[in-house]
Amino acid sequence: MNDSNKIAIIGYAASLPGCRVADDLWQLISQGKEGIRHHAQEEIAGHLPASFYQSPNFRPVGGGPENYRYFDAAFFGYNPKEAGYLDPQIRKALEYAWLACEHAGYAPDKVSVPTGIYAVSAVNSYFNENLASLYHHRADLHEQTQLLYLNEADFIASRIAYHFNWQGPAVNLRSGCSSSLVAIDEACKGLLQFDIDMAVVGGAVIKPRYQYGYHYQQDGIQSDVGHCAPFSAQADGTIFTNGAGFLILKRYEDALEDGDSIHAVILATAVNNDGSDKVGYMAPSVSGQVRVMLSALANAELGPQDISYIEAHGTGTQVGDPIEFEGLMKVFAGLPAGSISLSTVKANIGHLDALSGLAGVLKVIQDMKHQSVSPLANYGRPNPSINLAQSPFKIPQSLGEWKISSSQRRIAAISSFGVGGTNGALILEQASVETRAKAPPNQPLFIGFSARTPDVVLQQVKQLCAWLEAHPESELSDIAWTLLAGRSAFKYRWGCQASSVLELREKLAAIDALECSTVTATREWTLQQARQADAKQLATFWLNDGSLVANTAFPADCRRIALPGYPFQPQEYWIECEDMQIQLHQPHENVKISDLSQWFYTPYWKKQRISTLPVDLTGKKVLMFHHHDQFSSLFSDLLIRQGATLLQVSTGEKYARLAEDHYQVVPGDEKQIAQLINNMSENKILPDWVVHLWLLGNRDATTDSIQSQGLYTMVAMCKAYSQLALPVDFHTLLVADRMVSIVGEEEIEPVKSTLLGISQVLPKEYQDIQCHLVDISPDFQPDQIALRLLAEMGSGVSSEIAVRGAHRFVKDYARYTLPAAQLGESLLAGDKTILIIGGLGNFGLELAEFVALNYQARVYLTTRTRFPARSAWADWLEQHEDENTVSEKIRCLQRIERLNGKIEILTADITCREDILRINTLLRDRHERIDGVIHAAGTVDSGMIHTKTRDSLEQVFAPKITGTINLCEVFLPFNPDFILLCSSMNSIIGGLGQIDNTAANAFVDAWAEHCHQRGYPQVLAINWGAVNEARSRNYSALPQFKELSREHIKNKMSQEEIFEVYRRLFASSFGSRVVVSTLDFNQVIENWSRVGSVASLMQKVTLVPRSRDEFVQTAWSEPTTEYEASVARHWGVLLGIEQVGNDDNFFELGGNSLIVLQLIGFLKEDYPIRMHAMAIYEHPTVREFAAHVEQLVRENRDKNQIA
């Protein structure tokens, strides 16, 4: 065949299921693996309507680009609203057309030869499912027009041509599943007819539902089992998936002359239609498939014997595969048995709809590059309707060499068939391997980078450095020319000189930060001028004001090569579909789940969409707690570039103002931090944002040091604001490392988890603030993480996330079904010795009774305070009332003993290691072994953040933090069967007044995971929900909490249910944590976040008024002044009192610090004042409080008059 009829594939780019970039496909196909994902239900929730995925016919199987909701809108000139409306198929087509051109070594917007774009896509489901309601019901005429133009699939090609200024044909083609091979055929015709000199062929198929699953229909074409198994006996259908990709084509002779990299050569294509020669319109036709393959062979001037591999259409259906096989037999009959390998990429990545033919081409390119034939995935026995043994075909079942004789060339045939009968075939030949003996450069060469932002320039540098590691044999001159002649010239630029690939790699590897030049190109050089310049001249020209024009022949001794493409900076632009909005915002009632096996939940980290646009900090003041390190400096610079005024706080031995914008304090010191806030207030530089970086690193820090730098510092800030009567209105970004483990193998520091006390509680106690808690990997990439943190600040909602590389993870809870029939042997069975710390509390006594009823174990119960000896119980009961707490415990213990329970009480303080060591020695001396330990001790407290002291916090922390550490470090070396740590939902849902309980239990949860990492899988933390009424709190003065608490108590566990929960827990295997909830736990989280905040409490609540006589005995004194009347009225509404008098005391009427917040909110609506919550303690009566309000109003008025 004459070279003038050949077409070279000089570049490509794609994102396919399981393949982030096109060359990842080799790892998939060479190992015979699937890129298709089988999703858990919790992964699907939030992406598909429940009505769709809860159907019994739903199959949670799909795949495609994970970032299909994202787009670099700014790069392509779309505003956020347009980007949200734009069909995701167009978005991905723009990105991958650009990347394919760069892969070929051409700057898309600098191509000077006539270029054609031939694009394909699927039906636009984004408009139908997500935008149709907006279009029909809410958009005006202008917006409707905009929606249509941004979603019309016929405009993909013309949009690409517009953005890249290509002036050749821009054509959209649609022939069903054969679309992309038909598009390649049209592009080849345009090149061979010299209508164009370069062709860009491909497109995108993005149907959001393809990503997550489909409804199986019997006798349909989609698989019941969720695997595509072409030509196999178990084939039962295909799986439709998403993807995007493009090829760059040139006439073969031109590609050789221009120094292009040639990845494969198209010898011929053919397209036809079945006509009516088949049983029905949608049926395939043997004759049509035979004719198209014979035409392609004839066009290539080849015979069937020249083909050694066939990339089949291969849908994996029981009807389609035998028909395709029959057609191939008619073409290749008579050839030696097993002489042609038969396979299809659909087994690996599913059916890419209109893009499936192009996916087949990409697979064959990979096989040819590696001179191998990859195995057919999911292949077992051959389809019984296929006589494979009597055919020239063989099914590759393992990776093998693509063997050919010395006179042969590696040539493959590729088929693609569309519903309706349009068939395509393509003959592809392996590209010749060019060997060049090239002398090293006799002078340094200039290596240039450019991008739209400085951060992306740094990414490009790192990308190339990694590429050089994998391609050390590359030619430096090819790299230099490709980067200058084959890349667009953007505003921000950086470059360096190098004399060898090794030198370049070493220079790039040493770069952590760089300073870019800012260029607006005013002069142009041809490539010929650039080639004649030395490195210094070229660097001076290009870094200052130069631009290269590709209108001359490329230098003869250099080639354009496939280097990493532009690293887009995609953000999420997505309008949720209408039925998803309805589902996600529908209220749900709290209903106790009747099936006890459904009460268990385990945490997991769910990958989530990256936050939206970076925060705009123009005019904002950012207070940063940081160490003097590289990341702090980099992030500071980034914040400043976003418009922020930066204020810095570093650690020191005493308070000092080091500079106008730089302070130092002792971490956690309340007086020094109060001094800091006071100084900022006086200088009118109070922050809008607080960025806390003190918990990055700290690898050798003590528990006390971590607490001081983290939780205690943030509490001290809130207290300082309250003491100065300043509104806590700053947003917070807390950043830590080693706080969580995403994959289960990352080392964690449990005490850092106490920061959850801030992140879960701060947004609930103070209105309208965001609190972001972000865990990052200790080996994070500073530039990448800085951008991620900036995006998180811009998300607009509080969050607890983990960032790993380019991925964002959020904690979620999956139901862990625990049916009785699947239980194993109980850990309590047999002659066991069990120790319960805090054994005389509710949990301990319930457990002891449970063991007595069901097992023969010995149970030791500890108490921190002395308890009457058994011999004194009768006297105690006789001398004390029934309601006496000790009496109640004695009666419970007596009941346990009547059940033949073997119990003994020991005195020990879990926070004292000597006590725990003593008990360990005592019990081991008696029984040789302690089989299980249960930590049920704890101190519960409530109170707003501004009322907390270090001492009050540590009283709650002591048993949960110090006690947990003591217990595990003493008993774990002796390898007990289990150590059970009682935690609570506070660590997950937080709530008003719960900072200490939230932080303490968060530590317990993290400690259990820490123990698993250290090789102690017998440690389990249990997050208990509402258990019984005895454990409920009194929310009588807080109606919203009272109602929520009542919901919990209404759905409490009975004692029989509690015992059954214990039975299942001790006879099952979990990870490090399990949540026990009688209600749908994810609904509990949603409800508590809605009710358990100051914002919800500030809403006025209608109460049935009560008489003040129920609370106070003093005579009623009528309010007389405006302020007295106002205060009395608000107190009455908030407290539900009929008449509040001038001398009535707020606390005697049932008030508390939470209600004060409501009161202050209402007063601010009446008067322009600021007031801190402590004022009620200084002025507790209506008369006194009203006088204080009047004084504040007068001071504010006087200040304004002076101003």
CATH of the domain at 533: 3.30.70.3290
Hey, what's the torsion of the CAs at 1179, 1181, 1186, 1192, to 10 degrees? 10
Q: pLDDT at position 1173, please?
A: 60
Phi-psi region of 783 (alpha: psi -120 to 50; beta: other; left: phi over 0): alpha
* 1154 vs 161, residue with greater confidence: 161
pLDDT score, position 1029: 40
User: Is residue 844 domain-shared with residue 800, that is, in the same domain?
Assistant: no
Residue 725: CB atoms within 10 A of its CB come to 14
Is the confidence at residue 98, as pLDDT, over 60? yes
* Max CA separation in the chain (angstroms): 115
pLDDT (average), residues 1110-1119: 78
Mean pLDDT of 150-162: 92
Question: What does the pLDDT read at residue 579?
Answer: 46
Both 312 and 460 in a single domain?
no
Does 868 fall in a domain? yes
Of 474, 479, 559, 465, the C-alpha closest to 514 is: 465
The per-residue DSSP string of 723-738 comes to HTT-----EEEEEEES
Closest CA to 356 of 320, 402, 409, 393: 320
Q: Are 465 and 509 in contact (CB under 8 A)?
A: yes
Whether residue 265 is found in the same domain as residue 309: yes
Burial class (CB in 10 A: 0-12, 13-18, 19+), 1161: middle
Which pLDDT tens digit goes with each residue over 535-584? 566 666 666 655 554 433 334 578 999 999 999 999 888 887 654 443 33
Condensed to tens digits (0 to 9), the pLDDT of residues 1042-1087 reads 444 444 555 678 888 889 999 999 998 888 999 999 888 887 887 6
Q: Are residues 986 and 1135 in the same domain?
A: no
436 lies in a domain?
A: no
Q: Give me the pLDDT at residue 142, please.
A: 55
- Residue 754 in contact with residue 962, Cβ under 8 Å? no
Q: Phi/psi of residue 416, each to 5°?
A: -155, 125
Q: How many helices (H) and strands (E) does the chain have?
A: 45, 41
Decide if 1015 is inside a domain.
yes
Question: Is 1128 part of any domain?
Answer: yes
One domain, residues 197 and 207: yes
pLDDT for the residue 272: 97
The residue from 799, 815, 831 where one domain ends is 815
Residues 822 and 856 grouped into a single domain:
yes
Clarify whether residues 180 and 271 are in a common domain. Answer: yes
Going from the C-alpha of 766 to that of each of 170, 255, 945, the distances in angstroms are 56, 65, 10
Is 588 inside any structural domain? no
Alpha helices in 272-407 (DSSP H): 286-299, 320-332, 346-349, 356-369
901: alpha, beta or left, given left = phi > 0 and alpha = psi -120 to 50? beta
pLDDT, one tens digit per residue, over 729-756 is 899 999 999 999 987 778 899 999 999 9
CATH number at residue 965: 3.40.50.720
Q: How confident is the model at residue 711 (pLDDT cuts 50, 70, 90)?
A: very high
What is the C-alpha separation between 964 and 838, in angstroms, rounded? 12
Average pLDDT in the chain: 86
What's the CATH code of the domain at 411? 3.40.47.10
Q: In which band, very low, low, confident or very high, does the pLDDT at 805 lie, cut at 50, 70 and 90?
A: confident
Give 443-454 pLDDT, tens digit per residue.
788 899 999 888
Residue 736 sits in the same domain as residue 881: no
Report yes or no: 34 and 124 within 8 Å, Cβ to Cβ.
Answer: no
Amino acid found at 1147: F
Residue 575 in domain = no
State pLDDT tens for residues 881-908: 887 888 989 999 999 999 888 999 999 9
- Which pLDDT value is given to residue 1042? 43
Residues 832, 739: one domain? Answer: no
User: Does 525 have pLDDT greater than 50?
Assistant: no
In the chain, what percentage of residues exceed pLDDT 90?
57
As a whole number of angstroms, the distance between CA 380 and CA 233 comes to 7
Is residue 236 within 8 A of residue 318, CB to CB? The reply is yes
Domain carrying residue 487: 445-558
State which H helix or E strand residue 1018 sits in.
none
Average pLDDT over residues 784-801: 84
Q: What is the pLDDT of residues 48-61, one digit of tens each?
A: 777 778 888 899 99
Do 33 and 369 touch, CB atoms closer than 8 A? no
Q: What DSSP state is assigned to residue 1044?
A: H
How many domains is the chain built from? 5
Expressed in angstroms, the distance from the first to the final Cα of the chain is 91
Determine, yes or no, domain membership for 594: no
d(CA 462, CA 950): 46
Cross-strand pairs, 659 = 662
Does 1008 share its domain with 1142?
A: no
> Are 142 and 267 in the same domain?
yes
- Pairing mode, strands 445-451 and 492-498: antiparallel
**Structure token pair of residue 188:** 């080849």
**Cβ pair 249, 188 in contact under 8 A:** yes
> Could you tell me if 163 and 151 lie in one domain?
yes
The whole-angstrom separation of Cα 1020 and Cα 354 is: 51
Q: Which amino acid belongs to residue 1190?
A: E
Give Cβ neighbours of residue 185 (< 8 Å, ≥ 6 apart). Answer: 269, 270, 271, 424, 426
Token readout for 66 is: 């994970």
- pLDDT reading at 94 higher than 90: yes
What percent helix, strand, coil does the chain show, rounded to 5?
40, 20, 40
With a cut of 50, say whether residue 180 has pLDDT above it.
yes
Q: Which position has the higher pLDDT, 132 or 917?
A: 917
With cut-offs at 50, 70 and 90, classify the pLDDT of residue 1098: very low
Residue 1117 resides in a domain: yes
Range with the poorest average pLDDT among 234-238, 321-325, 968-972, 1191-1195: 1191-1195
- Gap between the Cα atoms of 776 and 741, Å rounded: 10
Of 970, 981, 903, 933, nearest to 827 by C-alpha is 933
Helix (H, G, I), strand (E, B) or coil at 731: strand
Residues 630-654: what's their mean pLDDT? Answer: 95
Instruction: For residue 1197, give the CATH number of its domain.
Output: 1.10.1200.10
